[in-house]
Amino acid sequence: MHLMKSTLTVLLLLCCMLTSAQNLLPNPGFDEVNICIEYFAKCAPRAWFPTAPFFSKVIYDGDIPQDNHMVTLTMESKVNTTFRPYYKTQLLNKLTKGTRYKMEVFMLDTRESAGFLDVKLDTAETVQDLPVALQTTPTLHLTKKTTGKPTENWIKLEQEFTAADNYGYIVIGNLTTLPGKIARNLLCYIDSMALTPMDGQTFNAAEADTIRTLLYNDRWRHSYARPNTSLYSNALSAKIKLPTRVSQRSGRCDTILLAPEFFTGNKKEISRVYADQLGETFKLKPEEVQQKILINGYSYLKPNLKYNEIIAADRANEVAKYLVYKRGFSFDDFIIKGNTSPRPGMDSMETVEIISCQPAPAPEATPVTRTDTLIIPDILFAFDSSTLNKKMSGTLDSLVEKIPDENGIQLAVTGHTDNKGTALYNQDLSMRRANTIATYVKQHKQRISIAVINGMGESMPVADNNSAAGRQKNRRVEIIIFYPPAK
């Protein structure tokens, strides 16, 4: 979203703001676009940087073919409350301690706008490993002068102050603790900024030109190091350690998450820099695929839902192509989806996830004298859930009590469902229920060994799914008890 300052009033305000005194901020209107070295993408304005470059980036409309750009700051995330990005730059001249200055900001006043911007002035540059809240007090807290319904237009925030030190660096973002939970993400859309002296201080033009040149020549935006070699060079590993753009969460299913930077800039192609990380993380072999692998693309950057869906599906398809052409999988191994919303549990507006729920390998053959089977009916669970029904805990305890708590006893726990819903969802539900029962049994029978935990979804019915009674029989968890041979 980007509203142009088209009215004469706003243009005059901007003109007065930027020309009444010498602006100490480089690229104050964010109109000069940086093309980063890592991805050769228009991902940030020149002279402005994220404080945590490995894991956050400047949200910027650099691809828009116009001279009126803006940056967007996430002030508070509803999804990930610990996520707190900041942008920074160096001042063209240091402030003089004890003298007066004015800070002015043009901000878009919308429904999702936070309505304020915090500014931290410092004598040293701020660098973070992670985009989390800075534990510091803001030098300035700029807020709207009026309350009420948003104007859906550009407004000016301003504040005069006296410099408490010879500041040379600035950080902008949210340094304020907000009360209670928020109903939506709070953002700050900034079109331009000005930091100007009020007492007629001398402006050192030569120093400003030197600092501006150094800032503009620093085109890196996604790493701390400034190596003198291309990211595609063989000498890269000795120069810079790449951040992790592929992560895995293991449990009932293996989930691989791909960060937005896994792709080249604003495009859909996989970045050659990070492609190897997927190959190293995704350990499943083509011959091990028994259940289809879900590849979900998520995109929520544009107001056009169809555009989001196409971009999300394109990126998911690129991941499938990589696994097919580089790892030997088949396109038949995948279910590919494009989603027009953020992924639940992640702040990022763009990501791709790979979900693989494969049956556990068969247990090693163990000599047994006999087996027993216990059936855990679905009424012992909450509806459509893997959470146990507390009202039925006595029934579950009586069933579990039938399992001998002895060394050498082995269990195979397998979840099953009816055929209502998608096959992938049912497989996931059956695995979650099997895990729940296995955990419960192990808590009560500590000497037994659970050899297999599996989820078979709707694939092994014991009754007709065309009737309610049959579907209820199919919704079950089976526990097979393997007894050791008698000594």
Q: How confident is the model at residue 218 (pLDDT cuts 50, 70, 90)?
A: confident
Nearest by Cα to 26 from 218, 206, 211, 156: 211
Return the percentage of the chain with pLDDT > 90, whole number: 33
pLDDT of 5: 41
φ/ψ of 323, rounded to 5, equals: -70, -30
Which carries the bigger pLDDT value, residue 125 or residue 17?
125
**Together in a domain, 347 and 425:** no
Which of the residue ranges 57-61, 186-190, 397-401 would you say has the lowest mean pLDDT? 57-61
**Angle, vertex CA 104, rays to CA 143 and CA 16, nearest 5:** 135
Task: Tell me if 106 is assigned to some domain.
Answer: yes
**Together in a domain, 62 and 198:** yes
The pTM score is: 0.49
pLDDT of 100: 95
pLDDT of 32: 92
Task: Tell me if 230 is assigned to some domain.
Answer: no
**Together in a domain, 347 and 437:** no
pLDDT of 47: 94
User: How many Å apart are CA 388 and CA 381, to the nearest integer?
Assistant: 4
Residues 428 and 386 sit within 8 Å (Cβ to Cβ): no
Report which secondary-structure segment, H or E, holds 441.
helix 423-444
β-pairing, 49-50 vs 153-162, is: unpaired
> Hey, how many other C-beta atoms are within 10 angstroms of the C-beta on 339?
19
Does residue 240 surpass a pLDDT of 80? no
Task: Tell me if 231 is assigned to some domain.
Answer: no
Task: Tell me if 1 is assigned to some domain.
Answer: no
User: pLDDT digits over 35-94, tens only?
Assistant: 877 666 787 899 999 888 766 677 887 666 666 788 999 998 877 777 889 999 999 999
Report which secondary-structure segment, H or E, holds 207.
helix 205-217
Last residue of a domain, one of 315, 330, 356: 356
Task: For residues 326-334, give the mean pLDDT.
Answer: 92
**CATH number (domain holding residue 347):** 3.30.1330.60
Q: How confident is the model at residue 456 (pLDDT cuts 50, 70, 90)?
A: confident
**Together in a domain, 205 and 334:** no
Rounded to 5, what percent of the chain is helix, strand, coil? Answer: 25, 25, 50
Does residue 243 surpass a pLDDT of 60? no
Does residue 203 surpass a pLDDT of 60? yes
φ/ψ of 250, rounded to 5, equals: -105, 150
Tokens of 359: 């049956």
Residue 302: give the domain boundaries. 246-356
Tokens 């004298």 belong to residue: 369
**Together in a domain, 351 and 397:** no
Task: Tell me if 239 is assigned to some domain.
Answer: no
Does residue 365 surpass a pLDDT of 70? no
* 3-state DSSP assignment of residue 205: helix
**For all residues of the chain together, what is the average pLDDT?**
81
**CATH number (domain holding residue 100):** 2.60.120.260
pLDDT of 130: 73
**Together in a domain, 413 and 325:** no
Nearest by Cα to 115 from 84, 79, 157: 157
Q: How confident is the model at residue 236 (pLDDT cuts 50, 70, 90)?
A: very low
Task: For residues 164-192, give the mean pLDDT.
Answer: 88
**Together in a domain, 304 and 157:** no
**Together in a domain, 34 and 177:** yes
Q: How confident is the model at residue 310 (pLDDT cuts 50, 70, 90)?
A: confident
Does residue 228 surpass a pLDDT of 80? no
β-pairing, 186-197 vs 100-109, is: antiparallel
- What secondary structure letter does DSSP report for 404? -
Does residue 469 surpass a pLDDT of 50? yes
Does residue 271 surpass a pLDDT of 80? no
User: How many Å apart are CA 95 and CA 24, to the nearest integer?
Assistant: 9
**DSSP per residue, 324-370:** HHHH---GGGEEEEEESSPPTT---SEEEEEEE-PPPPPPPP---S-
Does residue 226 surpass a pLDDT of 60? no
Tokens of 117: 């911007």
Q: How many Å separate Cα 67 from the centre of its chain? A: 30
**Together in a domain, 195 and 84:** yes
User: How many Å apart are CA 101 and CA 193, to the nearest integer?
Assistant: 13
**Together in a domain, 301 and 418:** no
pLDDT of 41: 75
Number of domains in the chain: 3
pLDDT of 363: 61
Which residues, 6+ apart, have CB-to-CB distance to 360 below 8 Å? 452, 453, 454
Half-sphere exposure of 54 (CA within 13 A, CB side): 15
Task: For residues 109-117, give the mean pLDDT.
Answer: 90
Tokens of 82: 């610990």
Q: How confident is the model at residue 205 (pLDDT cuts 50, 70, 90)?
A: very high
Which carries the bigger pLDDT value, residue 200 or residue 215?
215
* 3-state DSSP assignment of residue 142: strand
- What secondary structure letter does DSSP report for 436? H
Task: Tell me if 91 is assigned to some domain.
Answer: yes
User: pLDDT digits over 5-32, tens only?
Assistant: 444 344 444 444 444 469 999 999 999 9
pLDDT of 182: 73
**Together in a domain, 446 and 328:** no
Q: How confident is the model at residue 281 (pLDDT cuts 50, 70, 90)?
A: confident
Q: Is 70 exposed, middle or buried (0-12, 13-18, 19+ CB in 10 A)?
A: buried
pLDDT of 229: 40
* 3-state DSSP assignment of residue 242: coil
Q: How many Å separate Cα 172 from the centre of its chain? A: 21
Q: Is 139 exposed, middle or buried (0-12, 13-18, 19+ CB in 10 A)?
A: buried
Task: Tell me if 229 is assigned to some domain.
Answer: no
Task: Tell me if 90 is assigned to some domain.
Answer: yes
**Together in a domain, 204 and 103:** yes
User: How many Å apart are CA 234 and CA 291, to the nearest integer?
Assistant: 38
Q: How confident is the model at residue 239 (pLDDT cuts 50, 70, 90)?
A: very low
